[in-house]
Amino acid sequence: MARPILFAVDDDVSVLEAVVGDLRRKYAQEYRIVRAASGQAALDTCDQLKTRGDAVALFLSDQRMPGMTGVDFLSQAMGLYPDAKRVLLTAYADTEAAIRAINTARIHYYLNKPWDPPEDKLYPVLDDLLFSWHQGYKPPYEGLQVVGTRWGSKDHAVRDFLSRNHVSFRWLNPDTQPEALELLKSRGLDDAKLPVVVFSDGTSAVQPTQMELAGKIGLRVQAEKEHYDLVVVGAGPAGLAGAVYGASEGLRTLVVEPDAVGGQAGSSSRIENYLGFPDGVSGDELARRGFVQAQRLGAEFLTQRVTKIRVEDQYRFVTMGDGRDVSCSAVLLATGVSWCKLDVPGGDELVGAGVYYGAAQSEAQSCKDEEVFVVGGANSAGQAAMNFARYARKVTMLVRGKGLAQSMSQYLIDQIAGTPNITVETGTEITRFCGTDHLQGIELRTPNGTDNRAATSVFIFIGAAPKTEWLPTEVARDDRGFVLAGPDLKRVGVDRMGDRNPYLLETSVPGIFVAGDVRHGSVKRAASAVGEGSIAIQFVHQYLAGF
* 242-253 per-position pLDDT tens digit: 999 999 999 999
Is the pLDDT at 222 greater than 90? The verdict is yes
Examine the pLDDT at 101 and tell me if it is beyond 80: no
Domain presence at residue 366: yes
pLDDT attached to residue 486: 94
Query: Is the pLDDT score of 1 beyond 70?
Result: no
pLDDT in tens, 433-445: 999 889 999 999 9
CB 396 within 8 A of CB 370: no
What was the pLDDT predicted at 402?
92
Task: Provide DSSP, 483-543.
Answer: BP-GGGGGGGT---BTTBPPPTTB-SSTTEEE-STTBTT---SHHHHHHHHHHHHHHHHHH
- Domain membership flag for residue 343: no
29 and 123 belong to one structural domain:
yes
* pLDDT at residue number 547: 67
Q: Render pLDDT for 102-144 as a digit per residue (tens, 0 to 9).
A: 776 688 888 888 888 999 989 999 999 999 999 888 877 778 9
pLDDT category of residue 412 using cuts at 50, 70 and 90: very high
How far is Cα 353 from Cα 351, in angstroms, rounded to an integer?
5
CB atoms within 10 A of CB 91: 14
- Give yes or no: residues 237 and 209 share one domain: no
Q: Is the backbone of residue 389 left (phi > 0), alpha (psi -120 to 50) or beta?
A: alpha
The residue among 440, 463, 486 that closes a domain is: 463
> What is the three-class DSSP state of 280?
coil
Distance CA 417, CA 138 (A): 42
Rounded distance, CA 177 to CA 146, Å? Answer: 12
**430 close to 442: Cβ distance less than 8 angstroms:** yes
What is the pLDDT at residue 284?
87
Q: Are residues 9 and 114 in the same domain?
A: yes
10 & 116 share domain: yes
Quick one: average pLDDT of 22-42?
94
DSSP 8-class letter at 279: T
Structure pTM?
0.78
The tens digit of pLDDT for each residue in 280-293 reads 888 889 999 999 99
> Do 442 and 358 share a structural domain?
yes
Instruction: Give the CA distances from residue 370 to residues 274, 328, 382, 444, in Å, rounded to whole numbers and listed in that order.
Output: 31, 50, 18, 19
pLDDT at 93: 63
Q: Please say if the pLDDT value at position 266 is more than 80.
A: no
Mean pLDDT of 61-89: 91
Q: Where does the pLDDT of residue 478 fall: very low under 50, low under 70, confident under 90, or very high at 90 and above?
A: very high
Is residue 221 in some structural domain? no
Cis peptide before 114 (omega within 30 of 0): yes
- Any idea what the CATH number is for the domain that residue 160 is in? 3.40.30.10
Q: Is the four-CA dihedral 143, 148, 150, 154 of positive or negative sign?
A: negative
Domain boundary among 463, 495, 519: 463
The β-bridge partners of 9 are 36, 61
- pLDDT at site 144: 93
Q: Where are the beta strands (DSSP E) in 352-503?
A: 355-357, 371-375, 394-399, 422-426, 429-435, 439-446, 449-454, 458-460, 464-465
Both 333 and 475 in a single domain?
yes
pLDDT, mean of residues 351-379: 87
The answer on 89 and 154 residing in a single domain is: no
Instruction: Look at residue 242 and tell me if it is in a domain.
Output: yes
* 196 torsion bin: left (phi>0), alpha (psi -120 to 50), beta (else): beta
Task: Examine residue 212 and state whether it is found in any structural domain, yes or no.
Answer: yes
pLDDT for 81: 94
d(CA 438, CA 407): 31
Same domain, 278 and 380: no
Average pLDDT over residues 178-201: 89
Q: Domain boundary at 463, 498, 521, which?
A: 463
In this predicted model, which residue has the larger pLDDT, 28 or 99? 28
> Taking phi first (over 0 means left), then psi (-120 to 50 degrees means alpha), and beta for anything else, what does residue 180 get?
alpha
Q: Report strand pairing: 300-303 vs 306-312.
A: unpaired
Buried b or exposed e, range 24-57, using 16+ CB within 10 angstroms: eebbeeebbbbbbebbebbbebbeebeeeebbbb
CATH label of the domain that carries residue 79: 3.40.50.2300
Which stretches does DSSP call E strand in 23-114? Answer: 32-36, 56-62, 85-90, 109-112
Closest CA to 211 of 301, 295, 351, 321: 321
Cα 18 → chain centroid: 49
Q: What is the pLDDT of residue 116?
A: 84
Instruction: Answer yes or no: are the C-beta atoms of 264 and 239 closer than 8 Å.
Output: no
Q: Which long-range contacts (CB under 8 A, 24 or more apart) does 385-389 make?
A: 385/416, 385/419, 385/422, 386/269, 386/270, 386/412, 386/415, 386/416, 386/419, 386/422, 387/269, 387/270, 387/359, 387/361, 388/364, 388/459, 389/419, 389/421, 389/422
pLDDT at 41 over 70: yes
Domain assignment of residue 128, yes or no: yes
Domain span at 76: 5-136
506 vs 88: CA distance, rounded Å:
81
CATH number at residue 353: 3.50.50.60
pLDDT at 273: 85
Give pLDDT tens digits for 502-512: 999 999 999 99
| Percent with pLDDT over 70 in the chain | 99
Residue 127 sits in the same domain as residue 10: yes
What's the whole-number average pLDDT of the chain? 91
**Same-domain status, 9 and 130:** yes
- Point out the least confidently predicted range of 237-241, 464-468, 537-541: 464-468
User: Quick one: DSSP state of residue 346?
Assistant: T
Query: Would you tell me how many other CB atoms lie within 10 Å of the CB of residue 345?
Result: 12
The residue-averaged pLDDT of 467-487 equals 95
Same domain for 18 and 132: yes
Number of domains making up the chain: 4
Whether 205 maps to a domain, the answer reads: yes
Please indicate, yes or no, if residue 183 is contained in any of the structural domains: yes
- CA distances (Å), origin 378, targets 32, 164, 408, 427, 532: 58, 22, 5, 14, 22
- Do 361 and 398 lie in one domain? The reply is yes
